[in-house]
Amino acid sequence: MTMIPVREILLRLAVAAALGAAIGVERDIRRRPAGMRTSLFVCLGAALFTILSNEIARQFGDTGSTRIASNIVQGIGFLGAGAILRESGSVVGLTTAATIFVEAAIGMAAGGGLFKVAAFATLLVLFGLVVLGWFAQRFNLKCRMRVFRFTTSHAENVMMEIQRLLSELKVKMQHFSVSMVGEKSVVEFDADVSYSQEEAILNRLNRPGVVSEVVPLEGHHE
């Protein structure tokens, strides 16, 4: 087993860092966790551990050259779990965790000198994040948790219309509440809706005397 030239090591690390950063840019654009720096570090770290695994085995004559690399999968699982469990009470961040997992694999491929494999895998990841993400949004395939808030002086009428509308759209209401702010009533509820359902709710209830507001439910990220 021969030593990898220093120039080759630097090239592998640079490729891993560049591919990780490319994935991270998409995450930053979409305002998701694990952005450019995190993705770069994941790929770079995986590549470096892969190289070290080979070099340490060569230096000490250990035949188990994949021992360090094999533990990367276990280690990256903790980082992925942190991305999923970072919000209390909600299973969120699954896409981020999966992205971190595949970034480590890309880093290992680059660290092993499999540049074409690493580059192709990066393209597939970006295809999944960008193209499939756009497709899901364009055709309303993905629902999002939203908080709907309506401020009005006619709470009973708005409440009855909300119930009829959600029944028509087959949307399940969650955490429904009515409160008073001065002389106005605030009707608020959470719902898991597609883009078209969100638009239908707002269009139906958007009228004089009703102030409509919809915001993402805090803690829900891909």
pLDDT tens for each residue of 69-88: 678 877 887 777 777 654 43
Taking only the tens place, the pLDDT of each residue in 175-194 is 899 998 888 999 999 988 88
Mean pLDDT of 92-115: 90
- Is the domain of 93 the same as that of 129? yes
CATH of the domain at 186: 3.30.70.260
Of all residues in the chain, the percent with pLDDT exceeding 70 is 89
- Is the domain of 18 the same as that of 115? yes
> How high is the pLDDT of residue 173?
87
Contact 216, 145 (CB under 8 A): yes
Please name which of 125, 142, 160, 119 lies closest in space to residue 197, comparing C-alpha atoms. 142
- Is the domain of 19 the same as that of 125? yes
Taking only the tens place, the pLDDT of each residue in 10-26 is 999 999 999 999 999 98
- Is the domain of 81 the same as that of 122? yes
113 compared with 64, residue with greater pLDDT: 113
Q: Taken in order 96, 100, 105, 110, is the CA torsion positive or negative?
A: positive
- Is the domain of 129 the same as that of 149? no
- Is the domain of 39 the same as that of 120? yes
> How high is the pLDDT of residue 199?
86
- Is the domain of 109 the same as that of 18? yes
> And the tokens for 58?
């060569």
> How high is the pLDDT of residue 88?
39
Q: What is the H or E stretch that residue 150 is in? A: strand 144-152
> How high is the pLDDT of residue 47?
94
Question: Parallel, antiparallel, or unpaired: how do β-strands 184-193 and 173-181 relate?
Answer: antiparallel
> How high is the pLDDT of residue 86?
47
Within a domain: residue 222? Answer: no
- Is the domain of 33 the same as that of 115? yes
Most confidently modeled range among 17-26, 155-164, 213-222: 17-26
Domain end call among 138, 159, 184:
138
Contact 117, 109 (CB under 8 A): yes
Domain count within the chain: 2
Within a domain: residue 1? Answer: no
80 compared with 64, residue with greater pLDDT: 80
Mean pLDDT of 130-142: 79
Distance CA 40, CA 128 (A): 18
- Is the domain of 63 the same as that of 120? yes
Please name which of 76, 73, 72, 53 lies closest in space to residue 63, comparing C-alpha atoms. 53
Domain range for residue 159? 144-216
Taking only the tens place, the pLDDT of each residue in 83-97 is 765 443 445 678 888
> How high is the pLDDT of residue 90?
47
Q: How confident is the model at residue 137 (pLDDT cuts 50, 70, 90)?
A: confident
> And the tokens for 84?
């999923």
Domain end call among 111, 138, 165:
138
Distance CA 186, CA 61 (A): 72
Within a domain: residue 202? Answer: yes
> How high is the pLDDT of residue 87?
47
Determine how many CB atoms are found less than 10 A away from the CB of residue 84.
17
Determine how many CB atoms are found less than 10 A away from the CB of residue 56.
13
Task: Read off the DSSP letter of residue 151.
Answer: E
- Is the domain of 174 the same as that of 110? no
Beta partners for 152?
Answer: 185, 210
